Structure 1
Amino acid sequence: MGRHLRDNGGPPHRDPPWEIVRSPLGGRGVVATRDLQPDDLVLVDPPLMLGPRAGTDPATPVVCVGCLRPCAPAELRACPRGCRLPVCASSRPRSPPCEDGACHAGECGLLRRWGVRGDAGQWSDALLRAAAAVRCLALPPEQRQILASMQSHHGRQHAFEVGLLLESLEASPSPEEERFMRLACCVMDANAFRMTLPAAEDGDGDGGAAGRQRADAETWGPLVGALRGLYPLGALLNHECTPNTRHSYDSRGRMVIRAARAVARGEELTVTYSALLWGSPARRQHLLRTKHFLCACARCKDPTEGGTLLAALPCPARPCAGPVLPASPLSLTGPWRCSGCGLHVPADRATLLQSVLGGLLRTLHRDPALPPAPDAVLRFLEDNRRLLPATNHITVELKADVVWALGRKPGLEFAGLTAEQLQLKESLIRELLAVLQALRAGRCSLSGMLLYELHCTLLERCRRDPGLWPSVAAEALESIEVAHGILGEDNAAPHDLAVLVRRARQRRAASSDHPGEASPRPPPASSPASRPRRDSAADVTGGPPSAAPAPPEAIACL
């Protein structure tokens, strides 16, 4: 492990603030060896392996196996060496062709040795889904030993991608090779993190970068990670539904884990394997299905989830409007109870209500690859307000979708929003921040995203009415400072984050130097359709970007 960290850019971890112990949560865990404050660095973990995901989610972007960047399908071609994996069709300036990338050489050689079926001029989706397993087989012996020592899930649904691989080959791998690839798939199912490297920024006017920007604009919103990565240290952290750490990925693909809130010495360090804004029943069922355990953390034991009522269902007894919540939160078969009229609802009736809500949601998401427009979401919430409590996690996540869309999606850029839309975005941001505060989520990545959006929204309001600036300046400046502290080293952070925080500090300094003068007017926001590169000359005039950071994603269900 130590050699892997040294050889792949990991820090020396001298006197680390953590140690590996036997965990009461099961198996190994990581505890703090000293008190930690929010944002304190816990560890930096280089990936053992980064590769494409195996799923078929239509929202998952396709990646080049050489540079691992998300691409539009038209920007890819089959590897000219004959392995039929997709690589970038055109090279970026000052970069070698992606088929020559070091990370691709191992699997390319193995696939060509086995022989692949089909048209060599067309890249294969089946081989792409199996590429990570082949990439694991191509690891050096020491790294394969690390992989083999990691926890694994063994079930009928695991290692299906090896079956896809075998169907695509002329000759079969050896039994030992097949056995290791199946083990690697089971290890990835238990431990892999979902992540995405940012699209390349090569500055060409008409080529790959422009295409990626168009693709980003068309599918703007919470990104679905295109990659799965194995992080040996990060995988040792156990799950908690509201974890005490946050994780991000730097420009080298390394996982950076920091404290999200104060952590006492001896306290176990945790990450989340599920979605932060889901209600407890949905999270627990998801964890049981994908990670094969039922969570019993403090949040799962509290039917109100800190007063957020994310699991609330509508009371069947009319006209009662009280929320129905689990009476025995840790029981899958226990009754639910209305906190308004006291009605007990059997578990099967509660399950039926949840199914009805899920069916309603599917009517809104007719095309899984395209999120619904904000107007459609708002109409849906209004039409179904009797079935969807205002606090239910479906409602909350749909409100988040509206936040990500307003000011960002084509046709909904900041400058074109109505005053009502701008006010709606701000109010929804504040509502979501209040939910995170009630959950004690601390300085999580989602709060950083929302604070960034709040800052951009306040700037747009002041652009329209400069007289507002004195009344919102303090909050606008603080929100971007906190957002930068949370997102600053994340490779998915917005491109103009550093520029916005630098301007905020300049305005704060100017106000301090001249306390008797009016606060400087905020700069006009440029069109969100432009997407300035990080720290480029374009940043001097950039306003809110067209692409905001991707919301934090749970450990992948792969």
Structure 2
Amino acid sequence: MMGLENGITDIPYEVHSSEDLGRYLIAARDLMPGDLVLTERPLVFAPKALPDPEACMPCVGCYKPVLTDVGERCAKCGWPVCSGNCPGLRDVRHHAAECEVLSLRPDCVLDNMAEYYRHDALLSLRCLLLQKTDPENWKKLLEMQSHMECRTPGTESYDEADEFVVQYLMNNFINKFDGKLKKDVPESSKAILHRICGIVDTNALEIRLQQGTELLGLYSNTCVMEHSCIPNTKHSFVHSPKDKNDVFKITVKIVVPVVKGSHITTMYSHALWGTQARRQHLKDSKYFACKCQRCSDPTELGTYLSAMKCLGDGNNPCDGIHFPEDPLDDESDWACNKCKVKVSSSQVNMLISQMGEQVDNVQMMGGSVPTLENLLCRLSTFLHPNHYHIYSIKHSLVQLYGRQPNYMSQEYLDKKIKMCNDLINITKTLDPGNARLSLYRSVLQHELHSALVLTSKKANSDGSFKSDEDVKALLVEAKTAIEDALNCLKDDMEETAGKKLYAVIEKTKKEFEKYCKEKQLNI
């Protein structure tokens, strides 16, 4: 039924349900990469707050960042806008419907604006107003999972929603509803707002805009897809549609072969987090414990992304690797694969958390090569070379090696080539269809290309020139890398980051082709 609603005549999926999963999708036939699963318009969408809301807020009409202290305000409700002529201010899908509600609070302030103008509450308000603007979508919204059984008073999720959304909307706006608004929006209690907050937290998808702001959107069909840490679909959003009603329309496509009867999956966590971090995030935000193939495998599909080195028993050194004995048990001990030493989960979690803070701090400071190398050396004492904290450091280093004056030697290029290949192998294993890590893989292939081309131009270590065969071999590999870098981004062109990265890599490819032509090299 859902496929027909989206205009798909050959429905590629069936909707099933179970006690564990609720509703989910399975393939109605064999599906191949590129096959369309579904496409649909959002029920509702709204902006998230910007990182520094005291300085900058999204326009409530078009979501462009505006300076809060000097920017214009909506003439009716006083909320920050890019211009009084912004078309979104008069569009019911954007600001028009909520403006009537927001104008119930007449004051306009310049102090403590992040608390006064809470953009993170707008999605819940827009959901509530569907009763007036789109009753059919209101019905669809209420069919979505809210997990209210887990969001009871006293839980962190309930208390946060109550403080930052429910009380804010009730005290400032909803309690001031007059007869007409009460009639247009008959359900406006604290209970229904908490239910909406549950629906948003469980189902909302992030939409990144070209101007740097982010939205959250709710999609009634897409939300049925279950999570997997190795998803077989990728979704994208329409940002500049021919039909304005199609703005932020989602398209879900298959990225790896899916046989008939298999589950169609997406991912609600970060593909480069370790198993414990992913599962905790899913428990906290989506209220389920993931048991997918990757989570069930202590080696994470042979990538060792969470593995730690064994340091022995204090008397005898050991070069073994520590894995959780049961990765689906958060309290499981970590055991060495070579000796009898075990480490408690609490010790592992504390160590990984401390290391994560160090990595985050270095990355936030824009880590220099010496700083990154020093941290890599320290963490490598405890972590497997493929650990996700190590991956993060190496991903930064490969973008510095071969690009800064002091790090152009063949030694650094060799180090860069090895790091790139190692990280590419991990990335391909974890995300073979480029569903989640396409930008990471594209950057790695681009850096690999750069290192190979530079190597082809350098003399051998003994000072002799490279043979034509050696040069050609390096450039053939470089060509493969740059083509893969571009191919990885084919489904990311609606995203700002994807479009910018594609332009950079396309320029590199043209320079490479020009170089090969000048050297009369047929690659």
Q: 2:270 aligns with which of 264, 269, 275?
A: 275
Alpha-carbon separation, structure 1, partners of 2:263 and 2:127: 30
Q: Does 1:433 align with 2:424?
A: yes
Q: How many residues align?
A: 472
AA of the residue aligned to 2:238: D
Structure 1 residue matching 2:263: 3-state secondary structure? coil
Q: Does 1:335 align with 2:339?
A: no
Q: What does residue 164 of structure 1 align with?
A: 168
Structure 1 residue matching 2:323: 3-state secondary structure? strand
Alpha-carbon separation, structure 1, partners of 2:335 and 2:453: 47
Q: What does residue 20 of structure 1 align with?
A: 15
CA contact (8 A) 2:24 2:224 kept: yes
Q: How does 1:316-465 map to 2 (within 5 A)?
A: 316=311, 317-318=313-314, 319-345=317-343, 349-366=344-361, 372-373=367-368, 375-402=370-397, 406=399, 418-419=407-408, 426-439=417-430, 441-447=432-438, 449-455=440-446, 458-459=449-450, 462=453
Q: 1:474 aligns with which of 479, 487, 502?
A: 479
Is the radius of gyration larger for structure 1 or structure 2?
2
Alpha-carbon separation, structure 2, partners of 1:335 and 1:2: 45
**What TM-score, normalized by structure 2, do the two folds share?**
0.77
Pair 1:446–1:146, CA change in 2 (3 A):
same
CA contact (8 A) 1:429 1:450 kept: no
CA shift at 1:188, angstroms?
0.5
Q: What does residue 176 of structure 1 align with?
A: 187
CA shift at 1:151, angstroms?
0.6
Identity within the alignment, %: 27
Deviations 1:265-323 (A, max 9, x none): 11110111111122212211221122111111121211111111122234353422322
Alpha-carbon separation, structure 2, partners of 1:324 and 1:192: 36
Pair 1:32–1:320, CA change in 2 (3 A):
same
Alpha-carbon separation, structure 1, partners of 2:432 and 2:214: 26
Q: 1:518 aligns with which of 513, 517, 521?
A: 521
AA of the residue aligned to 2:294: R
Deviations 1:160-207 (A, max 9, x none): 3122334545954568324443322110111011221111xxxxxxxx
> Which runs of 5 or more residues in structure 1 are unaligned?
200-211, 213-224, 521-558
AA of the residue aligned to 1:336: W
Alpha-carbon separation, structure 1, partners of 2:296 and 2:56: 37
Pair 1:297–1:476, CA change in 2 (3 A):
closer
Structure 2 residue matching 1:181: 3-state secondary structure? helix
Q: What does residue 83 of structure 1 align with?
A: 77
AA of the residue aligned to 1:395: I
AA of the residue aligned to 1:119: V
Q: How does 1:483-494 map to 2 (within 5 A)?
A: 483-490=488-495, 492-494=497-499
Q: What does residue 106 of structure 1 align with?
A: 97
Pair 1:55–1:25, CA change in 2 (3 A):
farther
Q: What does residue 119 of structure 1 align with?
A: 109
CA contact (8 A) 1:152 1:187 kept: yes
CA contact (8 A) 1:415 1:460 kept: no
AA of the residue aligned to 2:342: H
Q: Does 1:190 align with 2:178?
A: no
Q: 2:304 aligns with which of 299, 306, 309?
A: 309
Q: How does 1:285-296 map to 2 (within 5 A)?
A: 285-296=280-291
Higher relative contact order (CA 8 A, sep 6+): 1
**282-291 or 266-275: bigger deviation:** 282-291
User: In angstroms, what is the RMSD of aligned CA positions?
Assistant: 4.0
CA contact (8 A) 1:136 1:184 kept: yes
Deviations 1:98-155 (A, max 9, x none): 544541111112111x325552798544521211111212222111111111111221
Deviations 1:511-535 (A, max 9, x none): 9xx9x95248xxxxxxxxxxxxxxx
**413-422 or 319-328: bigger deviation:** 413-422
CA contact (8 A) 1:44 1:257 kept: yes
**121-130 or 254-263: bigger deviation:** 121-130
AA of the residue aligned to 1:493: G
**What TM-score, normalized by structure 1, do the two folds share?**
0.73
Alpha-carbon separation, structure 1, partners of 2:33 and 2:406: 35
Deviations 1:211-243 (A, max 9, x none): x7xxxxxxxxxxxx7321111121110011111
CA contact (8 A) 2:427 2:441 kept: no
**184-193 or 393-402: bigger deviation:** 393-402
Alpha-carbon separation, structure 2, partners of 1:72 and 1:422: 43
Alpha-carbon separation, structure 2, partners of 1:495 and 1:428: 24
Alpha-carbon separation, structure 1, partners of 2:52 and 2:147: 21
Structure 2 residue matching 1:146: 3-state secondary structure? helix
Pair 1:508–1:419, CA change in 2 (3 A):
closer
Structure 2 residue matching 1:365: 3-state secondary structure? helix
Q: What does residue 460 of structure 2 align with?
A: none
**484-493 or 103-112: bigger deviation:** 484-493
Q: What does residue 29 of structure 2 align with?
A: 34
Deviations 1:318-372 (A, max 9, x none): 4223221111222223322111213233xxx222232123123324534997665
CA shift at 1:449, angstroms?
4.1
AA of the residue aligned to 1:239: H
Alpha-carbon separation, structure 2, partners of 1:81 and 1:122: 20
Structure 2 residue matching 1:177: 3-state secondary structure? coil
Q: What does residue 546 of structure 1 align with?
A: none
Alpha-carbon separation, structure 2, partners of 1:164 and 1:20: 38
Structure 2 residue matching 1:183: 3-state secondary structure? helix
